[in-house]
Structure 1
Amino acid sequence: MSVDVLPLDRQVCFALYTAGHAVTARYRPLLDELGLTYPQYLVLLALWEQDTRTVKDLGAALRLDSSTLSPLLKRLEAAGLVARERRRDDERSVTVRLTAEGSALRTRAAGIPARLICDGGLDIGELAELRDTLVRLTAALQRQGEIDAGALHR
């Protein structure tokens, strides 16, 4: 007996897609209270982890290219949450740092992950396991993409 692998409800990609939408939809009202979009929140998470980063470093941490990241940083700067400046030793490199207001916002944002845990129906261990599984999946797919890209250039 063969198993039909194409039904939508059996697709990992669809489960990830819908879960992603559900998570960002749940974050939206919480972030609205802070005046942030979800991508802006991710930028601030990276800066709260390590303040004063180059745009290139932020892009690598967030897996965003500069054409996506630059408008986010511009809006965060206009809101007074970050400051950008060109490095004196390398004019091509831009450094991003939190302002006092951006640093202070961390305290207000601290409860957001707990709200998702409460609302998500999974305990902290299950969420950690899910995150670890997704990290492994991402790494494996990226490695395969690099292998496939390398094969194309041979």
Structure 2
Amino acid sequence: MLVSHKNTWVEQLALLRRSAGQRIWPRLLMVFAFSTVVTLLHHWLDGFSAALTPLPFSMLGVALGIFLGFRNNASYDRFWEGRKLWGELVNLSRTWARQVLTMIERDAERPTPRQREMVLGVVVFAQLLRQHLRDQRDVAELGELP
């Protein structure tokens, strides 16, 4: 997943190296060249006529629209499933922390070192999972661990 926090358009242009445009630009160049040749032939040659009926384009457009609709729906379903699982992980982490802090006996108001270690272990797991899913490696973000 490409996650970007670039603010200027110049920085956005730098992202083209990692985008889908990098993979499809040769095909786009070929289509552009072919359409330019056909347009120039039609403009310069009087006998050149490319009479096309709109039916194939309409049928292709409908098929492409249905295909893209299904792909978009599948993509959104994957996103929503991930969102639900992440929300469940966060809620279970909070429940774990609450149970550790309330069910393990302690002498004072402050949590014991063992309780702190158990709660921070779950917090670190969630943060490392987030970084892993985003292909990031920033251990300094976690701060000081016990």
Larger Rg: 2
TM-score, normalised with respect to structure 2 = 0.26
Q: More strand per residue: 1 or 2?
A: 1
The structure with higher relative contact order (CA 8 Å, sep 6+) is 2
TM-score, normalised with respect to structure 1 = 0.25
